[in-house]
């Protein structure tokens, strides 16, 4: 698109006044401190809580139970109730009153005409003591 391009000669560049540009420096924001989560000792091994708790289970049923103080998490297939309770305490700072586990079965699916298997897993229902809540992001 050379029709709309403005070309400057060396003479016009030299005759233009130079503007002083003042940069505004933004004030430094307070740095956020990140909580460091220590590994959990399980038998002779130490496991990080993120290896036990995969993440929160976001469903309509889980949202309704969260109002009553029961939170649902996807957990590792090899996790047990004591490991999940320790991981919740390490991640959220609140000791759960009770933890229940349930297996999620694998399912056959067909995607774009091809068959496959959706892997199953495990989920944990974490019951909090009365008055205690956790914030799931």
- Identify the CA nearest to 91 among candidates 45, 27, 137: 137
Residue 21 lies in a domain: no
**pLDDT at position 5 over 80:** no
User: 48 or 41: which carries more pLDDT confidence?
Assistant: 48
Q: Is residue 28 part of a domain?
A: no
Give domain status of residue 8, yes or no.
no
- Residue 119 pLDDT exceeds 60: yes
Contact 57, 123 (CB under 8 A): yes
Q: How far is CA 97 from the centre of its chain?
A: 24
Structure confidence at residue 115 as a pLDDT band (50, 70, 90): very high
Mean pLDDT, all residues of the chain: 83
Q: Tell me, what CATH number does 58's domain have?
A: 3.30.70.330
Instruction: Report the run of H or E that residue 72 belongs to, with start and end.
Output: strand 70-75
- C-alpha to C-alpha distances, 111 to 104, 116, 118, nearest whole angstrom: 20, 8, 11
Range of the domain at 91: 35-127
Structurally, the chain folds into a number of domains equal to 1
Residue 30: band (very low, low, confident or very high) from pLDDT cuts 50, 70, 90: low
Residue 18 lies in a domain: no
pLDDT at site 48: 86
What was the pLDDT predicted at 99?
Answer: 97
Q: Is residue 6 part of a domain?
A: no
Task: Give 19's pLDDT tier (boundaries 50, 70, 90).
Answer: low
Residue 98's pLDDT is what?
96
Burial of 41 (0-12, 13-18, 19+ CB in 10 A): exposed
The reply to whether 2 falls in a domain is: no
């Amino acid at each position: 698109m050379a029709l709309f391009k403005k070309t400057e000669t060396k003479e016009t560049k030299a005759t233009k006044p130079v503007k002083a540009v003042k940069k505004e420096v933004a004030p430094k924001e307070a740095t956020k401190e990140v909580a460091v989560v220590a590994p959990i000792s399980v038998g002779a091994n130490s496991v990080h809580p993120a290896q036990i708790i995969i993440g929160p289970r976001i469903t309509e049923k889980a949202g309704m139970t969260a109002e009553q103080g029961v939170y649902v998490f996807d957990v590792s297939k090899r996790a047990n109730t004591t490991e999940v309770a320790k991981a919740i305490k390490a991640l959220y700072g609140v000791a759960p009153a009770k933890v229940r586990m349930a297996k999620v079965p694998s399912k056959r699916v067909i995607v774009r005409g091809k068959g496959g298997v959706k892997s199953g897993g495990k989920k944990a229902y974490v019951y909090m003591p009365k008055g205690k809540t956790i914030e799931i992001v």
